[in-house]
Amino acid sequence: MRRTLPVLVLLVLVGTLMPASLASAAPVRVSAAAPSAPRLPDPVECPGCYAPALETSWQWQLSHAVDTSIDVEMYDIDGFEATSDLIDELHADGRKVVCYISAGSWENWRPDADEFPDSVLGRSNGWPGEKWLDIRKVGILGPIMKDRLDMCDAKGFDAVEFDNVDGYQNHTGFRLTGADQLKYDVFLANQARSRGMSAVLKNDLGQIIKLLPYFDFALNEQCHQYHECNRLDPFVEAGKAVFGVEYKLAKSEFCPEANAHNFNFLKKKLNLGVWRSPCRQPA
């Protein structure tokens, strides 16, 4: 093996051999190596967690009274608005139920809104009454999110959808990095799984490869409109379902591609009310 001389020896030799006029020049500075990214914790194992089949019918309703008559296998509904009785009713009809919470934004109408100090509130995320959160401050946000997950668990939800977990790609008012987002997303997923609930990755396409071991399925908005659906393929390749919606495109513009990828896509209106039009029609 070819060996290199230690840096100190090289500097001594160079200083000895070079002319005095050069030897008196300013010393060479050796830059320290950039610190490596912190190691992420291992995924929490959850053998009993809900794992939807690659082809699963579903409904996503976050506004208005939940219509329980939709003949689907999975519902995704607001965690705060839903009651235990509603979830029991859906379970009695053979449905699985996902608990929607926003983990990356503050919402001024939530019952726990006063628990968020001003120091973690950033810019508006474009929705009325919402602001981005400083996800670097897990010491502050962690207990709040744990309480929310306890709420989902107590009501009987099967899985948790974490919204707004791509702040590092947005103008939040904070200097968030991809590493910050990974740390926070992994924290959320492990907390959900430790309570026996599946973790659902919402958007954050740029970190799918690293987050795949932690999340049980994915939910996406508008990947066809922005021509980025191929980034979700690793979920399907790992046997994990992909759900999604398009708001602006006609079904003829995205359903053939969605079905070819083995995704479960819907056409929805932006308010995510009752109305839905699935790409996959029931047999």
pLDDT at 282: 74
pTM (two decimals): 0.87
Instruction: Please give the backbone phi and psi of residue 92, each rounded to the nearest 5 degrees, phi first.
Output: -65, -25
pLDDT at 25: 41
Sign of torsion over alpha carbons 258, 262, 263, 264: positive
**Cβ contact 168:176 at 8 Å:** yes
Which residues in the chain land under pLDDT 50?
A: 1-35
pLDDT at 198: 98
**Cβ contact 64:273 at 8 Å:** yes
